[in-house]
Amino acid sequence: MMRSALGFALPLVLIAAPAMAAPWTLTVNRQEAILSDGDDSGEDAATTLMCKPKSGKVDVSFFLEKRVGEAPKGGQLTAVSGAVTAQFAARSNPEEMYGGSEVHATIPATAPVLAAFAKTGALRLTAFGVTARGGKVPVAKAAGLVKACSK
């Protein structure tokens, strides 16, 4: 009797367990620098910051669970790190597989918001009224990306 009760309770505990946040990975080589909240390819990441090393710009892309339109749409990205807030042009595209939207923007590597990100590891990205999911990045990885992308 005890055995069957445990057999029933264990799946309930596993279902109720909170999902673990994906670890942030940083990959830097001659062709690119990628910081993503998933594997080092950036393929299945919810948020990716990447650049060609020493290019002076960081390309940001992230997934929103909410669809913001059926066609590509221009808008604005608000990036916040600590007390620093900045706005940049952004573009959304419908994401067909999951029904949300992909947002893309480019931020100068010298932007004060990225300098703050390199010191704090905190970066909140909001576009089209929706804030991207994601947690704090280890400071060494945030600083590593900004350094790799800077001219």
Max Cα distance, the chain (Å): 68
* Other beta carbons less than 10 A from residue 79's beta carbon: 23
What CATH code would you report for 24-149? 2.60.40
**pLDDT for 111-129, tens place per residue?**
999 999 999 999 999 998 8
* Other beta carbons less than 10 A from residue 17's beta carbon: 8
User: Domain residues of the chain, as ranges?
Assistant: 24-149
| More confident: 63 or 32 | 32
CA 78 to each of CA 28, 36, 90, 129: distance values in angstroms, whole numbers, following the listed order: 26, 19, 9, 10
CA 144 to each of CA 4, 73, 124: distance values in angstroms, whole numbers, following the listed order: 51, 31, 18
**pLDDT for 8-39, tens place per residue?**
443 333 333 344 456 899 999 999 999 998 65
